[in-house]
Amino acid sequence: MNKLRNDLFFKKTVIINLVLTGTIILLVMSFAIYKSIKVTDTNMTSAISTVSNILANENDIKKSLIQGHMDENIKKYLNELIQTTEYIDIITIADTNSIRIYHKDTEQIGKKFQGNDEHLFNDTTTSYVTTGEGSLGKQRRAFTQIFDEENNPIGFVMVSTLTSHISNEYQLIVLNLIPLFTLLVVIAIGLAIFAAYDVRKSLLGHNPSEFVRLFIQRNEIFDALEEGILAIDKNHRILFVNQAAESMYHRSAKDLQGYLIEDVLPDCQLQRVLTTKEAEYNREMQIFDETILCDRIPMTEKGKISGALCIYRNKTEMTQMAEELTGVNHIIEALRSNMHEFKNHLHIILGMLQLEEYQLAEQYINGLGMNSMMISAVVKYIENKTLAALIYGKIGLAREAGITMSVDSNSYLPSHNRYLTTNQLVTILGNLLQNSIEATKGKDGVKEIILFITCDEQHLKIVVDDNGCGITQENLDQITKRGFSTKGENRGIGMSLIHAIVQDCNGMMVIDSEPGEGTSITIEFH
C-alpha cells in the first residue's frame, strides 16, 4: 500500500513538475515569439520607410516625374532593388494625380494608384506608413512625398511589403523556434523526473503529507517520553527540545531553539562531544536542585558529525522506579521492621537483666515464642523465602501501627510458580499490603488486614482485605493511573505497576471498596 502511494506521489510530482516547467517554457517561448515578431515587424517598417525616403530624394526619379515617363535604366535599377532588398515587394512612383509612372508590373504603368491612402500628405506630413489594398493584394505601405527644386510636390514614392510576406516571416520565426521548444521540452521532462526522484530521496521515500504526519508523530512520541531530549547541530545551535527537557530546564522550546547552547545552557556541555566525537553515558549533572543522569551522543550523517543529542533522566526518579519494579524497597522496609523489632526485644531483655529481674526476663523470652509461632505459620504457608520475609516484615509494620495483620490458614505459595516471578510477586504483595496498612492505620477501633494467597496448577490467587478507610468511586476510576495518589507527591506508582503486571500476564484484578468500611482486592492469574 505504501509502495502504491509512493508511486502515485512520484507520478503526481512528475506531472506537477511538467505542468510547471511546461507553463514556464510556454511563457518563455511566447515571449520569444512576441519579441521576434516585434523586431521583424519593426525591421520591415524601417526597411520600406528607408527605401521610400531614399528614392524620394533621387534626382533621376524627380526628372522622370517632371518628364512624365521613367527612363529604362531607372526601371532596371528599381526592378533589381525589389529583387535584392529584404522585405521590399512593391515600388510605385506616381505623380500628383496618382498616375503611376513606375510599377514592377508594367501593365499598371499609366493607371491610377489604388488604395486611396496616397492623399494623406500635408504641410507637416511628408512621409507615413499605412496598411492598404493594392493591385497585388493587401500591403504595408510607406509613402514619401517627392518635391522639385523649388520645393513643390511633384508626386510620391510608395514602397510596400505584402502582408502575405509578413505572415510568412511570422511563420518562419515560429518554425525556427520549434527545435528550441522541442529541446526545452525534453530538458523539462528530464528535469521533472530528476526533481521527482530528488524530492522522494530527500523525503526518504515518503510523500509530503505522509512525511508531515511522521514528523508530527515523531514530535508527539518525543514529547510523550519521560526522558528529556535535546539536540544541537554542528554549529552548536539547538535544533530540538522535547517537553520533558523543557520541564527540567523550566524554559520553553521557543526560548531555546535556534540559540547557541553555550549561550542559553552553558552547563549542558553537549557541544563537547562534537569535538571529541565520543559518546558519554550516565554522566551526572545538576539542573537546579535535581540530580540528572545524561547521555551525550554525537550524531553522524554520511560519516561526518552533523550534531549531538543529549538524553536526560532524573536520577532520583530512576532509583525510585527501580526499587518499585524490583520490590527492593518493600524488602528493605521489611528488614528494617524486623531489625527494629528485634532490637526492641533485646533492649527490654537487657534492661531486665540489668535490674536483676531474671524471672521476668525468662517470662518475656517465653512470650516471644508467640512471634516464633507466627513466623513458623508464615513459613509454613509461604515456601518462597523472599515473599515470606516480605510478609513477615509487613506484619511487623502493621503491628507498629496497631494493626493486626494475618495470613489466612488456607494460604499456600510454593517456592516457584509458572504465573509470576518473585520480583513481580514482591511488587504486587508489597504494594497491596503497604496500601492496606496506610488505609487502616488512621482508623479508630479494631484494625485488621487479612492476606490470602494460593497457587496450584489451575490458578494463582491473591486477596487482601482490610477494614480501613475505603476508596471512593471517583478514586476507584483513577487508582491504576500512573501518578494518581491521595498520599501526596512522588506517589501513585504502586497500583499502576500492579495493573501493568496484571495486564502483561493476562490476569484480572477486582477492587471492591466501600468508603469508611474497607477494601478487598482480588488478583487472579490462570
In this structure, what C-alpha cell is assigned to residue 223?
514529547
pLDDT tens digits for 214-243?
A: 767 777 888 888 889 999 999 999 999 999
pLDDT tier at 288 (50, 70, 90 boundaries)? confident
- Note the pLDDT of residue 241: 92
- Note the pLDDT of residue 15: 67
**Residue 42 to residue 217: CA distance in whole angstroms:** 63
In this structure, what C-alpha cell is assigned to residue 470?
475505603
pLDDT tier at 520 (50, 70, 90 boundaries)? very high
Mean pLDDT within 408-428: 88
| pTM confidence score | 0.43
Amino acid at 170: Y
CA atoms lying within 13 Å on the CB side of residue 9:
21
pLDDT tier at 401 (50, 70, 90 boundaries)? confident
Let me know if 363 is exposed, middle or buried by CB neighbors in 10 A (0-12, 13-18, 19+): exposed
DSSP assignment of 450-518: EEEEEE-SS-EEEEEEE-SS---HHHHTTTTSTT--SS-TT---HHHHHHHHHHHTT-EEEEEEETTTE
pLDDT tens digits for 462-497?
A: 999 999 888 888 888 888 776 666 654 445 577 888
- Note the pLDDT of residue 450: 93
Helix, strand, coil percentages for the chain (3-state, nearest 5): 50, 25, 25
Element (DSSP H or E) covering residue 177: helix 163-202
pLDDT tens digits for 323-339?
A: 555 555 555 555 555 55
- Note the pLDDT of residue 1: 42
Domains of the chain in start order, with CATH, are: 9-169 (3.30.450.20), 225-315 (3.30.450.20), 327-525 (3.30.565.10)
Handedness of CA 303, 304, 309, 315 (dihedral sign): positive
